[in-house]
Amino acid sequence: MDLDAAKITFVQESRELLEEMEKALLTMEQDGASDDLVNATFRAAHTIKGSAGLFGLDTIVRFTHNVESLLDQIRSGKQHMDEGKIALFLACGDHIHQLVDACMQESSLPDLDLEKRQALTERVNAYLTSSASKSLSVSSAIEVPVEALDTDLVSNDLWHISLRLAPDILQSGMDPLSFLRYLETLGKVIYVETICDGIPPFANMDPETLYLGFEIQFDSTADKQAIANVFEFVSDGSLIQILPPRSKIQQYLELIESLPEPEERLGEILLACKALTKEELARAIHVQKESNTDPHEPLGQILVEHAASPSVVVAAALNKQQQARDKKAQETRHLKVDVAKLDTLINLVGELVIATASAELSVRREKAHDSEEIINHLASLVESIRDTSLGLRMVPIGEVFQRFPRVVRDVSKELEKKIDLAIAGAETEVDKSMVEKITDPLMHIIRNSMDHGIESPETRKAIGKPEAGTIKLNAYHDAGSIVIEVEDDGAGINLERVKNKAIEKGLITADQILSNKEIINLVFEPGFSTAEKVTNLSGRGVGMDVVRRNIEALRGEVDLDSTEGIGSRIRIRLPLTLAIIDGFQVRVGDLSYVVPLDLVQECADLAEGSVQRNIVRLRGEALPFFRLRDMFEIPGTRPLRESLLVAQYGANRVGLVVDQLEGASQAVIKPLGDLFAQMKGLVGTTILGNGNVAMILDVPYLSQISTAKMSLQYLEEKKIA
């Protein structure tokens, strides 16, 4: 077993659990505590603690154990969840996150941010100490009903734990001794008897199979559930029996009957570890002889008949077991796959797409009509494989959105503002490769909206707005793209202030005439900021230009609209995938170009009579266009009959004049080389079926430029008139 790989899995799962814990805490802060939310928080802390114990991460175990203890008191009703505890648990979650991330690095966990950990531990212990005596009395009373059921009790005042762990746990990277070490966090292991009866002859031994069993005497004030939780990670396929102090003779009898070793041998073991005295063992044998219990009778019924457990307790236990089985069955429907393996699959599918296009072209050239049907069927299958493979990499954008409620909470408290976050479209799917790349730009935009956009409660109240500002985060699909909007109901952008700041920084001249949209777009200029002083959020010279640069690196665009006094809205538009697209192929001279098919609106002949400068009249509407021959300086003369391809991205349309339309094709996107990396109008390349390379056109950029050119031409004509 690769321990590094196992630890990576631990880190990933811990991060997911911490996200669930944070979500539950934020919901409690907003809507109040509930049993489900408190239990979800407790389970997250408990699972992280247990997993950390398997890797010997004692710092995480000790710190999380205190957090878990306080959560346990809250869920048992000994303490109440309040705003102070929620803030404490959020801070503890942040520190656990820090410790989990550091365990994969060279950092020394015991020394990592020690002062902060000590301060958090003291705050947790302060709550625990205040109710310690009450907790002890309740814990001591837990086993009283069991003792009251029968007077035929053993004299042993220790817990007895019988372990027969699943034989294959070593293959899963589990160390049986790690559970014993973890058990000692709850009390003291008094005695361990190792059972070697299951070891086969040497020639038949498998070094990856566990043959040992354990009988343990354990001293602890913890309850049975807390002790059982130590072994919950290896409960599947294992035989785990826990008997409380001073259990009944009948319970030890049932223990002996349930274990795989011979009864005589088990009697010796129980005597050796002092779980039973000779007299008590003799009584157990006597009870066994007197008992007429059917060995095939369900255990729950046996316990009820012998008054070992009330029927309602057995029913509840069976119901809980069934729920656990149902949950496990649901979990087995999902499989975690390494992202690198998924990327390899996508690359192989891309090569398959190219090979299929090559085969299709070859069949057409040879006019092999008998093979056309086979090739068409193959192309259809490859398209289905492509869509399915890309679908594997699509994840709900809620994976990104769920990080922001905590950000809004913390920043609003820091700014002393009241801000609500409304999320919509979290189920909208986006390429997994974009998830991490879009997080930082969105983080900057939201923090910017809170700092610059939303006013203080006093200001909002004075101008007739609700004291609490609102930031809306929304996502949806549109024309083959994913659109993400961040909207606030704050002060909006002060155009005069932006313009003066731009003049001060030398971005524009004082006599330069700009439209409102152009003034707003100045905020995307490098180093632009209207912040008067440097804070944790503003004034560091890293602004919206970084956001735009990061979005454009994903072949996307960002647009900002604002109305002073009403609010602002930033719209980000991104392609659905960065890997394989359906394209429309065109030709200019000897060169081929590809336009994303979902952006193609229509195709038509270019009527020379309707052309005026760089504008063409298409069914009475003005459409700006580019001749690709002129744009890319392609040699040769224009054909007598040119074609017009109309593409639309968002609200902008652009016409592309080409020599020939070649039809739809699948395109595997390859990055541009260093020679073309800075060339505007191109986003990548693809390999055609004939082996030639075609350029993929950047329609968002071309549509933006064409709209600007049409606006400029309109202003010039108006000026001449």
The mean pLDDT of 222-249, rounded to a whole number, is 85
Structure confidence at residue 536 (pLDDT): 55
CATH number reported for the structural domain that contains residue 483 in this entry: 3.30.565.10
> Is 440 a member of any domain?
yes
Q: Which DSSP symbol is given to 153?
A: B
Q: What is the CATH number of the domain that holds 656?
A: 2.40.50.180
Q: Between 26 and 5, name the one with better pLDDT.
A: 26
Q: End of a domain among 575, 591, 609? A: 575
Q: What CATH number does residue 162 fall under?
A: 3.30.70.1150
Both 378 and 278 in one domain: the answer is: no
- Decide if 206 is inside a domain: yes
Report the distance separating Cα 418 and Cα 661, nearest Å: 56
| pLDDT over 60 at 639, yes or no | yes
For residue 332, is it within any domain?
Answer: no
Domain membership flag for residue 322: no
Residue 300 lies in a domain: no
Question: How is residue 453 annotated by DSSP?
Answer: I
Residue bearing the bigger pLDDT, 295 or 290:
290
Q: Which of 400, 388, 361, 337 is nearest to 580 (CA)?
A: 388
Answer yes or no: is pLDDT of 432 > 90. Answer: no
Whether residue 384 sits in one domain with residue 450: no
Q: What percent of the chain has pLDDT over 90?
A: 17
pLDDT at 94: 92
Q: Is residue 176 part of a domain?
A: yes
Q: Is residue 70 part of a domain?
A: yes
Dihedrals φ, ψ of 466, to 5°? -60, 145
Number of domains the chain is built from? 5
Q: What share of the chain is helix, strand, coil (3-state, %, to 5)?
A: 50, 20, 30
- 658 pLDDT band, cuts 50/70/90, is very high
Question: Given this model, what pLDDT does residue 134 score?
Answer: 45
Check whether residue 117 and residue 163 sit in a common domain.
Answer: no
Q: What is the 3-state secondary structure (H, E, C) of 649-678?
A: ECCEEEEEEECEEEEEEEEECECCCCCCCC
Same domain, 373 and 264: no
| 176, 194, 196, 546 from 211: Cα distances, Å | 11, 10, 7, 59
Collapsed DSSP state (helix, strand, coil) of residue 469: strand
Give the integer Cα–Cα distance in Å for 591 and 252.
85
Q: Of all helices (H) and strands (E), which one includes residue 471?
A: strand 469-478
Confidence of residue 146 (pLDDT cuts 50, 70, 90): very low
pLDDT for 293 equals 46
- pLDDT tens per residue across span 112-124: 788 888 899 999 9
Question: CB neighbours of 382 closer than 8 A, spacing ≥ 6?
Answer: 349, 352, 353, 356, 666
Provide CB contacts within 8 A for 448, sequence distance 6+: 537, 538, 543, 544
Give the domain-ending residue among 575, 595, 626.
Answer: 575
Among residues 11, 9, 2, the alpha carbon closest in space to that of 103 is found at 11
Domain endpoint, select from 374, 393, 412: 393
465-490 mean pLDDT: 90
| 448, 499: one domain | yes
Q: How confident is the model at residue 712 (pLDDT cuts 50, 70, 90)?
A: low
Contact 438, 574 (CB under 8 A): yes
Same domain, 589 and 665: yes
Q: Looking at the structure, tell me whether residues 544 and 624 fall in a common domain.
A: no
Sign of CA dihedral 435, 437, 438, 442: positive
Higher-pLDDT residue of 1, 397: 397
Handedness of CA 509, 515, 519, 525 (dihedral sign): negative
Residue 330, domain member (yes or no): no
CA distance linking residue 352 with residue 666, whole number of Å: 11
For residue 661, pLDDT beyond 50: yes
Query: What's the whole-number mean pLDDT along residues 572-580?
Result: 78
Average pLDDT of 656-680? Answer: 80
Average pLDDT for 153-157: 72
Query: With 60 as the cut, is the pLDDT of residue 11 above it?
Result: yes
Judge if 535 and 671 occupy the same domain.
no
**Are residues 400 and 389 located together in one domain of the fold?**
no
Could you tell me whether strands 469-478 and 481-488 are parallel, antiparallel, or unpaired per DSSP bridges?
antiparallel
In the sheet that 660-668 helps form, which strands lie side by side, from edge to edge? 660-668, 580-588, 591-596, 693-697, 682-687
Residues 211 and 266 in one domain: yes
pLDDT at 3 over 70: no
Strand-pair category, 469-478 with 159-164: unpaired
Residues 509 and 539 in one domain: yes
Residues in contact with 366: Cβ distance below 8 Å, sequence separation at least 6, in sequence order: none
Identify the domain containing residue 102 by its residue range: 3-139
Co-location of 153 and 92 in the same domain: no
Q: What is the CATH number of the domain that holds 67?
A: 1.20.120.160
